[in-house]
């Protein structure tokens, strides 16, 4: 051991070691001038790179707005409210696209929230682990070194499986939707249309292939992991005291969930729903492949429709020079909608977290 490294021992020695050991043998020393300069440069560099992120967001907004400017001057607000898209008459409007975007996203959100929150509850309550534990208890092996670890392992596996749903690329879901889902649900949908289509506008048209319903179903599968993961985090973050207090008062599991856990975690769950909504609004490929790409305004679940993202995906690759400002205008509308939704979601989540941290 080097004497320098343990200065406490030093006074015990007869001769002071600090003077006998040359200064440069110690590793610690003040930074040289060159190091101070490079430190300064590096700090400025990271500062710039941090700025870069803010600038990218600003640059994206500016680029799209500038490109959309000619169309904004030419069509004004009529572009957003117009219903036709006809190159022959020069009439352009994206109201059907806005309608389709919101309608498909809300449908997907409804399904995604139901299933997502269910999964979040299933995971946060440890229902699977509890069930496996009881099955193991039937065989009296619940504390066995191998079998006893099974409940936790299965719980983790289930969690990963749900997250895998998010890892599958959307274009693969689109492919699956075209060749598996649509043929699968078509007979049932047409039967519903035959039976009640005349009275209920939701089923007013037959499903002839692509349509809103298959698109919304696939979309729901895609946003489900987002909602499940964030809601689960919010539910797990509820202080255990609250749950135990409810159990202590004699509440059943679901009385506890409905009257204590869900209200306490509500801001987290609500934030997850908003973020899921943001994802659904901007999702492109599954919709471009499944929604049909027709400029129609309809309440029917089975009718083909169009969304803003699908419009961009279908028209941009072969766009003529004159068409680009119009598409950029549509992109700007989509940008404004999604930015609004995302900012609201992030703010809600942040407020929810702050409340939790303050409450502990």
Partner 1 sequence: MGPEVKRPEDDSVIVTAQGRVIRLADLQRSLRRPRTLFSFLLTTLVTLMTLAALVPLFAVLYMLVVRGGRRLSVELFTSLPPVGLEQGGGIGNAIIGTVIMVALAALISVPFGILGAVFLAEFGPETRLAQAVRFCAKVLTGFPSILAGVFAYGAVVLLTGGFSAVAGGVALSILMLPTVMLTAEESIRMVPAKMREAAIGMGATPTQVAWHVLLPTARPGLLTGVMLAVARAAGETAPLLFTALGSNYWPIANGQPRLMQPTASLAVVIYNFSSQPYENQRELAWAAALVLVVLVLTTNLAGQFLSPKAGQR
Residues 279-338 that bind partner 1 (CB under 8 A): 279, 281-285, 288-289, 309, 312-313, 316-317, 319, 324, 327-328, 331, 334-335, 338
Closest separation in Å from C-beta 27 to partner 1:
6
**170 interacts with partner 1 by CB under 8 A:** yes
Q: How many residues bind partner 1 (CB under 8 A)?
A: 95
Q: Residue 193 or residue 288: which is nearer to partner 1 going by CB?
A: 288
Q: Binder to partner 1 among 7, 13, 18, 39 (CB under 8 A)?
A: 39
Q: Which residues contact 314 (CB under 8 A, 6 or more apart)?
A: 288, 293
Closest separation in Å from C-beta 209 to partner 1:
12
Q: Give the Cα separation of 78 and 66 in Å (integer).
A: 19
**213 interacts with partner 1 by CB under 8 A:** no
Q: Residue 96 or residue 197: which is nearer to partner 1 going by CB?
A: 96
Q: Residue 99 or residue 193: which is nearer to partner 1 going by CB?
A: 99
Closest separation in Å from C-beta 246 to partner 1:
13
Name which of residues 9 to 38 contact partner 1 (CB under 8 A). Answer: 27-31, 35-36, 38
Q: Residue 160 or residue 266: which is nearer to partner 1 going by CB?
A: 160
Q: Residue 94 or residue 193: which is nearer to partner 1 going by CB?
A: 94
Closest separation in Å from C-beta 291 to partner 1:
13
Binding range to partner 1, per CB under 8 A, among 1-9, 45-53, 79-87, 229-237: 45-53
Closest separation in Å from C-beta 83 to partner 1:
23
**What is the CB-side half-sphere exposure of residue 357 using CA atoms within 13 A?**
6
Is residue 170 within 8 Å of residue 286, measured between CB atoms? yes
Q: Give the Cα separation of 220 and 206 in Å (integer).
A: 22
**351 interacts with partner 1 by CB under 8 A:** no
Q: Give the Cα separation of 186 and 125 in Å (integer).
A: 37
Q: Residue 44 or residue 191: which is nearer to partner 1 going by CB?
A: 44
**What is the CB-side half-sphere exposure of residue 30 using CA atoms within 13 A?**
2
Closest separation in Å from C-beta 198 to partner 1:
31
**172 interacts with partner 1 by CB under 8 A:** yes
Q: Binder to partner 1 among 122, 133, 147, 356 (CB under 8 A)?
A: 122
**247 interacts with partner 1 by CB under 8 A:** no
Closest separation in Å from C-beta 50 to partner 1:
4
Closest separation in Å from C-beta 60 to partner 1:
5
**135 interacts with partner 1 by CB under 8 A:** no
* HEC assignment per residue over the chain: CCHHHCCCCHHHCCCCHHHHCCHHHCCCCCCCHHHHHHHHHHHHHHHHHHHHHHHHHHHHHHHHHHHHHHHHHHHCCHHHHCCCEECCCCEECCHHHHHHHHHHHHHHHHHHHHHHHHHHHHHHCCHHHHHHHHHHHHCCCCCCCCHHHHHHHHHHHHHHHHHHHHHCCHHHHHHHHHHHHHHHHHHHHHHHHHHHCCCCHHHCCCCCCCCHHHHHHHHHHHHHHHHHHHHHHHHHCCCHHHHHHHHHCCCCHHHHHHHHHHHHCHHHHHHHHHHHHHHHHHCCHHHHHHCECCCCCCCCCCCCECCHHHHHHHHHHHCCHHHHHHHHHHHHHHHHHHHHHHHHHHHHHHHHHHHHHHHC
Closest separation in Å from C-beta 103 to partner 1:
17
Q: Residue 64 or residue 80: which is nearer to partner 1 going by CB?
A: 64
Name which of residues 74 to 113 contact partner 1 (CB under 8 A). Answer: none
Q: Residue 96 or residue 271: which is nearer to partner 1 going by CB?
A: 271
């Amino acid at each position: 051991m080097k004497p320098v490294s343990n200065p406490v021992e030093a006074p015990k020695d007869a001769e002071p070691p600090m003077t006998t050991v040359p200064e440069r043998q110690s590793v610690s020393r003040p930074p040289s001038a060159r190091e101070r300069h490079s430190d300064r440069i590096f700090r400025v560099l990271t500062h710039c790179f941090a700025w870069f992120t803010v600038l990218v967001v600003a640059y994206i907004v500016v680029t799209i707005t500038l490109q959309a400017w000619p169309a904004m001057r030419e069509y004004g607000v009529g572009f957003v409210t117009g219903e036709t898209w006809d190159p022959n008459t020069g009439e352009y409007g994206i109201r059907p696209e806005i309608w389709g975007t919101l309608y498909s996203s809300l449908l997907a959100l409804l399904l995604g929230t139901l299933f997502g929150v269910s999964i979040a509850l299933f995971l946060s309550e440890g229902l699977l682990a509890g069930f496996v534990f009881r099955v193991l208890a039937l065989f009296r092996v619940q504390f066995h070194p191998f079998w006893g670890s099974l409940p936790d392992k299965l719980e983790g596996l289930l969690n990963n499986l749900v997250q895998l749903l998010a890892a599958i690329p959307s274009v693969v879901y689109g492919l699956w939707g075209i060749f598996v889902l649509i043929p699968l649900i078509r007979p049932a949908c047409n039967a519903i249309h035959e039976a009640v289509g005349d009275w209920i506008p939701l089923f007013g048209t037959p499903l002839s292939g692509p349509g809103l319903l298959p698109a919304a179903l696939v979309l729901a599968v895609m946003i489900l992991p987002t909602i499940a993961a964030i809601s689960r985090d919010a539910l797990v973050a509820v202080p255990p005291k609250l749950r135990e207090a409810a159990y202590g008062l004699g509440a059943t599991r679901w009385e506890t969930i409905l009257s204590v856990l869900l209200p306490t975690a509500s801001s987290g769950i609500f934030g997850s729903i908003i973020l899921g909504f943001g994802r659904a609004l901007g999702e492109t490929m599954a919709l471009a492949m499944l929604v049909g790409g027709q400029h129609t305004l309809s309440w029917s679940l089975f009718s083909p429709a169009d969304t803003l993202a699908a419009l961009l995906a279908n028209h941009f690759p072969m766009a003529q020079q004159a068409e680009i400002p119009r598409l950029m205008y549509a992109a700007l509308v989509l940008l404004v909608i999604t930015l609004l939704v995302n900012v609201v979601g992030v703010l809600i989540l942040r407020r929810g977290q702050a409340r939790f941290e303050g409450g502990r």
